[in-house]
Amino acid sequence: MIPISYNVRSLLVRKATTLASALGIALVVFVLASSQMLSRGIRKTMALSGSEDKAIVLRKGADAELSSTVEQRFVSMALAAPGVKRDGAGVPLGAGELLVVLALEKGENSAQVSNVQLRGVTDNVMKVRPDVRLIAGRPMRAGTDEIMIGDNLRGEFKGLELGQRFEIKKNRMVEVVGVFEASGSSFESEIWADVDTVRTSFGRESMVSSITVALESASKLDGFKRAIESDKQLDMQVMREVDYFEKQSEGTAALINFLGGAIVFFFSIGAMIGAMITMYGAVSNRRREIGTLRALGFSRTTILASFVLEAFMLALIGGGIGAAASMAMGLVELSMMNMNTWSEIVFKFDPSPEIVAGSVLSGGVMGILGGLFPAVRAARVSPVAAMRD
């Protein structure tokens, strides 16, 4: 077995080519890890919006709140179904909510417009969603033109700052009276207004998009679902809330994975070619060394394994650099369009040990593939011919 120190010395001697190849692999690993972190962050943000012990009721056939319409009179019927949790006063914990999309001007550039979700909520919204916490201002009052905004929207759009006013519809002004957090969920990218204010502003009287109910426990979902879906008059479907919001992230996460995969594919080809050129150069410059090793009795298989190991070490250096750089993406927030809701949501890159380890391993595989052919060439070097060079 050829000592590993031999391969380390070889990499250190060729500093320029080693660094160039390592950086190429580092770029691939960085892009691969970052795209997976963003995809994971999207899924996590949407999943945090839901809970195992809550259910969401939509019109049958609708795949999202925006495409669902439920008559207000059915809300009380849903809240009376078995399994619905009640507060200390015996009132069911649930509400019908109306979701619409607003086109608002970006705060830093009035010429740029983006979509934001406006959710019409009831006055018990903080009870239905106890993870929501007011961090500035005060709660909005029912039946008024007051709104609350998620922390991710604060200052990002024109009029979305505490105490400011803006139009949700022509000649319908609302005032921001509160800012809330929601444990990093997608609700932090929403505007909340009184449900009646949203109804009258958008001509949706006596309608809601969905009904959200808190269940006595997660195990009560099946009974609640049977009661709602078996009633032909309601014509509604029931999903566990966390499952619904995870489904809403699938389109955006799939797009990120596709784009990231396409970029990684082409970058990885370049990185492997770079590693291959580096290793071919190493073989060419070390023909005498290879001939000496063969004369000393080292087999072709040993020479092959040594050069593959050297390429793998080169890739691990690059993979380590790329992985270290990708960890910094955990501090980055990215505002982008959700493909299911067509509205802007702020996502965070979410690093994990599995993503980092998998990306570094992928870099190692690229090194092996890039170094395989040069290693085969090194193993075929004739000791006699090499000693004559």
End-to-end CA distance of the chain: 25
Do 115 and 91 touch, CB atoms closer than 8 A?
no
Provide the residue-wise pLDDT of the chain in tens; the chain has 389 residues: 777 777 777 777 777 777 878 888 888 889 888 888 988 888 888 888 888 999 999 999 898 999 999 999 999 999 999 999 999 889 999 999 999 999 888 876 567 888 899 999 999 999 999 999 999 999 999 889 999 999 999 988 888 999 999 999 888 899 999 999 998 888 999 999 999 999 999 988 889 999 999 999 999 999 999 999 998 888 999 999 999 988 888 777 777 878 888 887 887 887 778 778 877 777 777 777 777 777 777 788 888 888 888 888 888 888 899 999 999 988 888 777 776 667 778 888 899 999 999 888 888 888 888 888 887 887 777 766 655 65
Alpha-carbon distance of 128 to 122, in angstroms, equals 10
Phi, then psi, of 174 in degrees rounded to 5: -130, 160
- Decide: helix, strand or coil at residue 378: helix
pLDDT (tens digit per residue) in 284-338: 777 777 777 777 777 888 888 888 888 888 888 888 999 999 999 888 887 777 7
Phi, then psi, of 255 in degrees rounded to 5: -65, -45
**How far is the CA of 131 from the CAs of 48, 95, 180, in angstroms?**
10, 16, 10
Alpha-carbon distance of 142 to 313, in angstroms, equals 64
Residue 200 makes CB contacts below 8 A (sequence gap 6+) with none
Q: Let me know if 349 is exposed, middle or buried by CB neighbors in 10 A (0-12, 13-18, 19+).
A: buried
The pTM assigned to this predicted structure is 0.78
